[in-house]
A and B are shown apart, each in its own frame.
Chain A
Amino acid sequence: MTADASPAFEPHQLDEEEFLREVHSFSFWFEAVEGYLEGRPYGADPELADEPLDGDDRDRLITTLCNYCVGEVTALDASSGLVRLAPNHHSRIFLATQVADEARHVEVFLRRLDDLGVLDGEAEVRARANPRLEEFRRRVLEMVDRGDWEAAVFAQNVLLESMEDTVFRFHASIADPVTRQVLEGVIADERRHLGFGENDLGRRLARDPAGRERLATIRAELDPLVLGSFDGVYRDLGLSRADQPSLGRDYLAAVERLGLTT
């Protein structure tokens, strides 16, 4: 596979059409993921020693990973549903790469659950799913089902990806080595997905500034579910109130920085 995804290559210097053709291609996707997945089957170096976890730590990590699976299955179902709604060839190809990424994320988290001794990962995910995340999932899939491209891309590629990026980064900073490496590969993918949402919606809003109001309304409906799910993250990661980071504030700031709703 050959495409220029090397660190020195700067796709943003290309004109718009060339940029879209370059970054929304199978080759570009593969060159990008190959950089951080090579030698890491199921997201982690097989030689990396796994730290034994005590009962409580193990149980909390299982709940955390189960909820990561809820988020990733949401992204998988939503991105696959968005393929048919894509307005052009480049977006369709990009979303197909995202479908494979999201399926890989579910796969690596289920594999990690397997490492932790969970016998039926899918059943465990259903049993431990955070209700707020499930409600978020329901709302996003409704947007996809009614064919609302802008709302669904915003909810999935901006809000959900920002939430995951915030949580995964924090978790990677305190996780055991294997979980950290798995998370690093996922975070690298999420940045690409967030970039697509930001780019696509940014172009649309430049043509239709009134669209910001609609996105702000969607955000007002979904933010409470995202922020509520962070409480579950704190609990699942076993953090005392004093140790709790400001994930909610970080998430809100990350979405704000994109300038899509203001």
Chain B
Amino acid sequence: MAETDFLSQYSIQRWLEMCPQGYLDDTTYGHESGLTEPEDLLANDDLREASIALTVQLIAGERAALAASSGLVNAAPDHASKAFLATQTLDEARHVEIFTRRLIDLGVKEEDVDSTVNDLANPNLVKFAEVLLEKVGNGDFIAGVVGQNIVLEGMAFSVFELLQATSKDLNPKFAQTLAGTIADERRHVGFGENRIGSLIREHPERKADIERMQAEMSYHMLATFTDVFRGSGPTMDRERQAAAAEGRDLGSAEWHGTDVMAASTDDIEALLAGTVINEFKTRLGRIGIEYQDPKVPA
């Protein structure tokens, strides 16, 4: 497909038809009206607090994506790219909005949302965002789009898919919320791959710097996964034991060939990290960037 044809797929008009008039039609905060968080989750402080902590990470990631996509508009080299980034800005703002709403649904007072996010956001995730936002702040369009639309969005895509698989039966409200964000992220990743490939070919001298950024972001991403799974593991184990003792069936959810409802947290962490890194390798390869194993940053 010629570049102009490809970019026409990312116009505001196309976005209006696909997204708000398409898969978000008849939704409220990303899900069917009337759906609520499950009562057993709200009644279980352990589970509720784990859900709050998880949702905070989603908000922190989406806030970074909102800052990055809006910050890249002014650096975009043509109107079609600006238009796409404008749609992405609004998509990311919507994600911040729906996950913030979930935090409130989980019992966080509206006036406490910011302090809760600041207190619970994982420090490695904050550093991950800082690496990206430094490139954006410097007006570096190529590195910014790779960091945002391939690395950040690639990670978000897999995380959301995993969460959706585990929520489908247990929490339809959250699963529906995630479905819309997954559809958005797929579009964002597609733009990153297609638009940046040609720019990398025009500026091969940028590869080394971008690969360094990817390695640094990957390090912080993997460290975030470790922290989050370490933090949520005991809650997950207790919930499984309680369900077994009460004869409750938590069901099964297959994701990339593994039943994540039965797998250990270590196994799920390894599965998620492996899936994201494989996706990075594939997507970066398509734009002519070689995936770099993460190193501890200086």
Contact = CB atoms under 8 A, between A and B. Distances in A.
User: Do A and B form a real pair?
Assistant: yes
Interface of A: 1-3, 17, 21, 25-27, 30, 34, 37, 41-42, 73, 76-77, 80-81, 83-84, 89, 92-93, 95-97, 99-100, 102-104, 106-107, 110, 121-122, 141
A3 B101 CA distance: 14
Nearest to B93: A96
By CB atoms of chain A within 10 A, which of B21, B27, B71, B79 has the most?
B79
Given A89-B113, A106-B83, A99 B70 contact: yes
B70 A83 contact: yes
Nearest to A100: B90
Nearest to A26: B94
A103 B20 CA distance: 16
A102 B28 contact: no
Interface string B68-94: 001101100011001101110110111
Contacts of A89: 96, 100, 113-114
B13 interface: yes
A100 B70 contact: no
B5 to A, nearest CB: 15
A104 B66 contact: no
B86 A42 contact: no
Nearest to A145: B74
A81 to B, nearest CB: 6
Given A1-B27, A110-B79, A122-B79, A83 B89 contact: yes
Contacts of A83: 66-67, 70-71, 89, 93
A8 B260 CA distance: 49
Interface in B1-56: 11-13, 15-17, 20-21, 24-29, 33
Contact of B66 (A1, A2, A92, A100): A92
B97 interface: yes
Contacts of B83: 103, 106-107
Given A2-B26, A102-B86, A107-B83, A26 B13 contact: no
Contacts of A110: 79
Please provide the 6 A-B residue pairs with the shortest distance between their CB atoms, ordered closest to farther: A96-B93, A103-B86, A80-B73, A83-B70, A100-B90, A104-B12
A21 B97 CA distance: 10
Contacts of B86: 76, 80, 99-100, 102-104
Contact of A77 (B12, B74, B90, B97): B74
Contact of B71 (A80, A107, A141): A80
B200 to A, nearest CB: 23
Contacts of A99: 70, 73, 86, 89-90
Given A25-B97, A26-B94, A107 B12 contact: yes
A1 B24 contact: yes
B27 A42 contact: no
Interface string B94-128: 10110010000000001001100000000000000
A71 to B, nearest CB: 14
A213 B40 CA distance: 57
A93 B63 CA distance: 11
Contacts of A95: 70
B251 to A, nearest CB: 30
A1 B100 CA distance: 17
Given A81-B73, A104-B12, A104-B86, 17 more contacts: A1-B20, A1-B25, A1-B27, A73-B79, A76-B73, A80-B89, A83-B66, A83-B70, A89-B96, A96-B90, A97-B90, A99-B70, A100-B12, A100-B87, A103-B73, A107-B83, A110-B79
A141 B11 CA distance: 24
A96 B70 contact: yes
A2 B30 CA distance: 10
B3 to A, nearest CB: 14
B71 A81 contact: yes
Contact of B97 (A76, A93, A103, A104): A93
B139 to A, nearest CB: 10
A92 B20 contact: no
Contacts of A102: 86
A93 B93 contact: yes
A73 B71 CA distance: 14
A73 to B, nearest CB: 8
A153 to B, nearest CB: 15
Nearest to A30: B20
A81 B74 contact: yes
A96 B92 contact: yes
A106 B16 contact: no
Contacts of B94: 26, 96
Contacts of B20: 1, 30, 34
Nearest to A84: B67
A42 B17 CA distance: 11
18 contacts: A1-B25, A17-B110, A21-B110, A26-B90, A41-B17, A83-B71, A89-B96, A89-B113, A92-B93, A96-B70, A96-B92, A97-B90, A99-B73, A103-B73, A103-B87, A104-B13, A107-B79, A121-B79
